[in-house]
A and B are shown apart, each in its own frame.
Chain A
Amino acid sequence: MKKTLIAAAAVTLAFGTLVSTSAHADEWPTRPLTMVIGFNPGGSTDIQGRVLANVMEEYLGQPVNVVNQPGAGSAVAFTRLANNRDQGYTFLFGGTTALTFTPIISDVAYEIDDFEYLAAVAIGQNAIVTSSEQPFNSFDEIIEYGKENPMTYAQQTALDEAIIRAIAEEEGLDLAIVPTGGGGGMAPLVLGKEVDFAYSGGTHAQYTPGGEMIVAAFMSAERSPFYPDVPTLMELGYDYSIEDYRTIIVPNGIPDEAKDRLIAAAEYASTHEQFIRTTEGNTFFPVVFIPQQEMESSVRRIRAATEEVMGD
């Protein structure tokens, strides 16, 4: 099913380029745009980004080309974007973690103030998952079980590790934390019951419909509409959250006209049926529209909160 959709998307994309409309000839943009994606083709950001490019192209009347610049969870792409002087013709679509978290732990050549956050169109997913064959199936039960037994947890980033480590200390758990090679490496560990619970940044969407994996809690600030019964860590009384927004990001100093047009295109996409179908239906990311002002403050607030967690 997923495959056919991707194939269909690829075909639509190929034809989309051939049929470029020329309705807004006098308005910005006057030449093709480039959307940068900081991950390899095939991941959730790439799938969403390619559809978004397609929809934005429809609105802006110029082709929106998609370029993958993978590496270090988008840090490579942000490094290049910070030095980009393309007057808004090059923008990035992706999560904000590379800005709110990566600069804290590693030495990267960009900072949060190098960019403007035009609009968020989807909310990132950060879940704590476990296998349905385990003797527990909610976060409280995990904690209860952990007070009696030694537990294991599979991390994916230093951030989720820090949060879980803090919770384990509060609750007095005997917890061993193992590294995984991302979502693909996490799934076999959870399904094979090698670890008791794990972090998932979206991979769970493949396994929860079949009932093999269950989401115990969300690390995000709000519940997911696709798992309405699953509480967030905040609701459970732990003062931690990982927030991540799939945002359209440009380097500082681009003309206002370009910004306005890009924001308008993003708003158009957030109500577009094709984008919603792919983002919500395939990847289980809720589609939203968060305007620039709110995003600018959100990104800085998340960064401050993350620094606090990592400072422990």
Chain B
Amino acid sequence: MARHSFWSGLVVIVIALLALNWIIPGYAGSNPFAQIPPDLVPRLASWLMLICGLCIVTGAVYDMVRQRIPLFNSNIDWPALAWASWPFAYVALATWVLVYVKITYVGPLIIALLLYLLGERRWYILVGCSIVPVAMLYVLSVYMMRVGVV
């Protein structure tokens, strides 16, 4: 738990520093006449994140020193990590495909392949679960919302 807090707190600090030193000065704009200039609220939020991040990291370091937890986990469960990350890769790939092909055409494939990867092997489930939602989407988009095939 403490190690989790340490690393995530570090990420919070990095985001806050990025925002304060690069994003806000470069992209938030300014308005010298306004009582609340455009960059005030983002700045306050970043400072809040920075302070909280520092508190999280400090607390985590304190806990880790007391409980003698090493900074790095020596035995990371790589298979578990791989299993946790492949769905993200799958959706990212689907996103890339969907930029070029409409979801009504490739939707059944996207669902069926994911079902198969998750361990479903019964053909009627594969077919049913992939066709029915896409058919529902088709009726919704073409006949009810009139936006055409999406």
Contact = CB atoms under 8 A, between A and B. Distances in A.
Contact of A34 (B142, B143, B144, B148): B148
A163 to B, nearest CB: 18
B146 interface: yes
B90 to A, nearest CB: 27
B83 to A, nearest CB: 37
Interface in B106-150: 142-144, 146-148
Tell me if A's interface is mostly helix, strand, loop or mixed: mixed
Interface stretch (A10-18, A231-239, A264-272, A303-311): A10-18
Contacts of A63: 146, 148
Interface residues of B, number: 6
Interface in A1-39: 13-14, 17-18, 32, 34
A126 B137 CA distance: 39
B144 to A, nearest CB: 6
Nearest to A66: B146
A141 to B, nearest CB: 29
A13 B146 CA distance: 8
Nearest to A16: B146
B148 A65 contact: yes
B147 A17 contact: no
A216 to B, nearest CB: 26
A34 B142 CA distance: 12
A67 interface: yes
A209 to B, nearest CB: 30
Nearest to A67: B147
A18 B143 contact: yes
Nearest to B142: A17
Contact of B148 (A13, A18, A67): A67
Interface string A154-191: 00000000000000000000000000000000000000
A169 B148 CA distance: 51
Nearest to A32: B148
Interface string A234-259: 00000000000000000000000000
B38 to A, nearest CB: 11
Interface string B69-93: 0000000000000000000000000
B148 A17 contact: no
Contacts of B148: 32, 34, 63, 65, 67
Nearest to B150: A67
B147 A14 contact: no
Contacts of A17: 142-143, 146
A15 to B, nearest CB: 10
Contacts of A66: 146-147
A251 to B, nearest CB: 18
Interface in A255-285: none
A177 to B, nearest CB: 10
B31 to A, nearest CB: 11
B114 to A, nearest CB: 28
B134 to A, nearest CB: 18
Nearest to B143: A17
Closest 3 A-B residue pairs measured CB to CB?
A65-B148, A67-B147, A65-B146
Interface of B: 142-144, 146-148
9 contacts: A13-B146, A14-B143, A14-B146, A17-B142, A18-B143, A63-B146, A65-B148, A66-B146, A67-B147
Given A17-B142, A18-B143, A67-B147, 18 more contacts: A13-B146, A14-B143, A14-B144, A14-B146, A17-B143, A17-B146, A32-B148, A34-B148, A53-B146, A63-B146, A63-B148, A65-B146, A65-B147, A65-B148, A66-B146, A66-B147, A67-B148, A68-B147
